[in-house]
Structure 1
Amino acid sequence: MYWLHQSALYLHIVVGVIALIMFWIPVVSKKGARNHKRFGRIFAIVMYTVGWSGVLMASFDLWRPLVTHPVAQSTTAEAQTAISAGIRASATFLLSLSILVLATTRHGWLVIRHKDDRRALRRPAHVALCLALLGAGLTLLVIGGSSGNILMLIFGALETWLAIGFLRYSFKAELAHPREWWVEHLGSLIGSGIGVYTAFFVFGAARLLQPLLESGSFAGLGVVFWVAPGAIGGIAIARLSRKYRRRFSAEPG
């Protein structure tokens, strides 16, 4: 199990770095053009790899935390319990981010492929993934509320909001305007970026910048890095969605 966990970790790191760069190519490329479609497909494959490798790592950490993260034999039972609790807390958040990446990537891909025909979004696999995102969000809200963890509260609210939005879009009787699928695709893309950039800051950059963030001048700034992708991304989704809904609603037919 340890080596399988480590293999998933290395894969997650490699594809995660690729995803950080790949995210911007569909964003800046001309919408609907060949490069946008080509790199969009590649981005989806990369994000699925990021998501599933994260699910695998988090599942192992939740199941056997001291197997995936061995400690010295001299470690006391009390210390082992505390270490296990810390690993499981991080794994819970990583699992929620992984589900966020998978759900937003799949939703955005299905929306753009099927546009006005939303039957594919109502199939059991996609509905189950959206419900998993909803469950992850509610779990983070409960944990964040009981522990006062701002990071979990923000992402619990974001994941819950996105999951409800995905399900509502999939099952509502009629689209509000002919190109509502475009707005939905945009929001899903930003949501996937939130997941991958938050994972980078929380599990990657935070460790690299730890000496700086623990210094007197920058102490406490770590939480800013952690919540920034979710806060900025959530605001961007809300504002851009409102902007384009108004624009498309004003267009004829």
Structure 2
Amino acid sequence: MIWLHQSALYLHIAVGIVALIIFWVPALSKKGSVNHKRVGRIFALIMYTVGWSGVLMASLDLWRPLTMHPAADVTTPESQVAISAGIRSTATFLLSLSILVLTATRHGWLVIRGKEDRRILRKPSQVALCLALLAAGLTLLVVGARGGNTLLLIFGALETWLAIGYLRYSFKADLAHPKEWWIEHLGALIVGGISAYTAFFVVGAASLLEPLLQSGSFAGLGIVFWVAPGVIGGFAIARLSRKYRLRFTAKPG
């Protein structure tokens, strides 16, 4: 089984790096242009790969933590329990991020496909993804509250709020204005990008910067790296949503 975990890890890292770079092409290109649409499709496919490989790795870590992360110096049952708990805690968080990547990316893609017709968003597969995200968010809230983990509480609240928002958009009777789908599409794919950057900082950058973040003037600042993408992305979504909402609802003349 460890070969499957390692293969998923290498794939996850490779496509994740590509996602971090390619995200900016549709984000900065003219909306609706050929370049925006073409690269946007590629970005969505890459994000699906990032999400499903993350789900596979996290699931294996939850199932067999010490098999996937063998530690030669673990000799006592107490040590095994402690290390297993740590691996499973991280895996729970990364599983929720992977579900967020999948849900946000698919929601944004289906929104632009259906536009005013939201029946495609009500299909069982997409509703199941939204419910999985809701369950993941609630799980993080419970685990974070029990352990006093601020990071889990923040992302638990974010994932719960997003899942409810996606379901509400999918099932509400009427859109607020004819091009509300544009704003919804934009916000969902920015959320996908935020998730990719958050996963990078939590797993990659945090490991590289761990010696710096555990001592000296920068001690305790690790959470800044993990929360920063969400804060920056949140401001971007709010600003762009307001910009396009004013544009689409402005009365002529």
Place the TM-score, normalised by the shorter chain, in its bin: over 0.9
Paired position in structure 2 for 1:236: 236
TM-score, normalising length from structure 2?
0.96
- SS of the equivalent of 1:228 reads helix
CA contact (8 A) 2:104 2:189 kept: yes
Could you tell me how far 1:52 is from its partner in structure 2? 0.1
Paired position in structure 2 for 1:135: 135
- SS of the equivalent of 2:71 reads coil
Deviates more, 1:69-78 or 1:131-140: 69-78
CA contact (8 A) 1:176 1:249 kept: no
Task: State the alpha-carbon separation in 2 of the partners of residues 251 and 91 from structure 1.
Answer: 50
Could you tell me how far 1:240 is from its partner in structure 2? 3.1
Structure 1 segment 31-70 matched on structure 2, within 5 A: 31-70=31-70
Task: State the alpha-carbon separation in 1 of the partners of residues 87 and 231 from structure 2.
Answer: 25
Residues 80-134 of structure 1 deviation map (CA, whole Å, 9 limit, x = unaligned): 0000000000000000000000000000000111101111000000000011111
Aligned-residue CA RMSD (Å): 1.3
Could you tell me how far 1:217 is from its partner in structure 2? 1.6
CA contact (8 A) 2:74 2:80 kept: no
Structure 2 counterpart of 1:118, which letter?
Answer: R
Task: State the alpha-carbon separation in 2 of the partners of residues 58 and 74 from structure 1.
Answer: 21
Matched pairs, number: 252
Percent identity among equivalent residues?
Answer: 77
Task: State the alpha-carbon separation in 1 of the partners of residues 64 and 82 from structure 2.
Answer: 14
**Which structure 1 segments of 5+ residues have no match?**
none
Against the structure 1 CA distance between its residues 49 and 211, is the aligned structure 2 distance closer, same or farther, given a 3 Å change threshold? same
Deviates more, 1:226-235 or 1:111-120: 226-235
Task: State the alpha-carbon separation in 2 of the partners of residues 73 and 43 from structure 1.
Answer: 41
Task: State the alpha-carbon separation in 1 of the partners of residues 237 and 85 from structure 2.
Answer: 34
Could you tell me how far 1:239 is from its partner in structure 2? 4.0
Task: State the alpha-carbon separation in 2 of the partners of residues 155 and 136 from structure 1.
Answer: 10
CA contact (8 A) 1:158 1:230 kept: no
Against the structure 1 CA distance between its residues 174 and 54, is the aligned structure 2 distance closer, same or farther, given a 3 Å change threshold? same
Task: State the alpha-carbon separation in 2 of the partners of residues 134 and 102 from structure 1.
Answer: 13
Paired position in structure 2 for 1:81: 81
Task: State the alpha-carbon separation in 2 of the partners of residues 59 and 234 from structure 1.
Answer: 29
- SS of the equivalent of 1:37 reads helix
Could you tell me how far 1:251 is from its partner in structure 2? 4.1
Could you tell me how far 1:71 is from its partner in structure 2? 1.7
Structure 1 counterpart of 2:112, which letter?
Answer: I
Paired position in structure 1 for 2:28: 28
Against the structure 1 CA distance between its residues 192 and 32, is the aligned structure 2 distance closer, same or farther, given a 3 Å change threshold? same
Structure 2 counterpart of 1:102, which letter?
Answer: L
Task: State the alpha-carbon separation in 2 of the partners of residues 81 and 24 from structure 1.
Answer: 42
Structure 1 segment 60-209 matched on structure 2, within 5 A: 60-72=60-72, 75-209=75-209
Could you tell me how far 1:74 is from its partner in structure 2? 5.1
Could you tell me how far 1:68 is from its partner in structure 2? 0.4
Deviates more, 1:243-252 or 1:176-185: 243-252
Task: State the alpha-carbon separation in 2 of the partners of residues 144 and 74 from structure 1.
Answer: 27
CA contact (8 A) 1:158 1:234 kept: no
Could you tell me how far 1:211 is from its partner in structure 2? 1.7
